[in-house]
Amino acid sequence: ELPPIEGRVEFKDVTFGYEEEVDILKNLNFKVEIGETIAFVGATGAGKSTIINLLTRFYDIDQGSVLIDGIDIKDVTLESLRKQIGVMMQDTFIFSGSIADNIKYGNLDASEEEVKEAAKIVYAHEFIKKMEDGYNTQVNERGSRLSAGQRQLISFARTLLSDPAILILDEATSSIDTKTEILVQKATDAVLEGRTAFVIAHRLSTIRNADRIMVIDNGEIVEVGSHDEL
């Protein structure tokens, strides 16, 4: 069982391949402090998602280790690990039900007030309020009635309610209108605040705001620094 974490992360001599004989990550070493935002950038196939796959233990590592608050993640239960890591992937998962239910999915014990509060923090409250039944408006799996940007804001609110110490954000590349884009940008800052975050970054604003940028190439960190330094 992983006790409640603060969010310190360390990759120690991690070498990993999906198949034997083919190393995708090569002797990766880095430490991330509590509350830091790390932006991963790099070409397609460089290994960004693979790093995330190891942190969430979608695959086990046989060379090296991943530590959270100094604890090797291979020694804890998957459930206790994953409930403390919030993952926001490009395709936001919307299920059939009300908008409120979709946000509450992050914490089934949340009150109506808490749902609304989370929506406000991520700038979703305005558009939800304008929908025909507000928070009770029904949406379906394909998230129709919701734009790509709005779906992202819903998933941000959901993540806030689940309140993970570590956050993974695979930024969407889908084009959204300028107005929603600005909201998503501000909402991203609000969600990352106070958490250790790993962002597979596509937005320049996210890269600029990151504490450190790690440039991944061919399974290695080839450059590290802030936006100004690089």
Residues making contact with ligand ATP (CB under 6 A): 18, 24, 42, 44-50
Residues 46-65 vs Mg ion: string with x where CB under 5 A? ---x----------------
Q: Which of residues 107-136 bind Mg ion (CB under 5 A)?
A: none
CB neighbours of 182 closer than 8 A, spacing ≥ 6? none
Tokens standing for residue 30:
């880095």
Q: Name which of ligand ATP, Mg ion, none residue 45 binds, using a CB cut-off of 5 to 8 Å depending on partner kind.
A: ligand ATP
Residues belonging to the chain? 230
List the x/- string, 1-40, binding to Mg ion by CB under 5 A.
----------------------------------------
Chain-centroid distance, C-alpha 101: 20
Contact 17/182 with Cβ under 8 angstroms?
A: no
Residue type, 226: S
In whole angstroms, the minimum distance from the beta carbon of 48 to Mg ion comes to 5
Rounded least distance, CB 25 to ligand ATP, Å? 8
- Select 21 or 109, whichever has its Cβ closest to ligand ATP: 21
The answer to whether 48 and 40 are in contact (CB under 8 A) is: yes
On whether the CB atoms of residues 98 and 137 are closer than 8 A, the answer is: yes
Binding site for Mg ion (CB under 5 A): 49
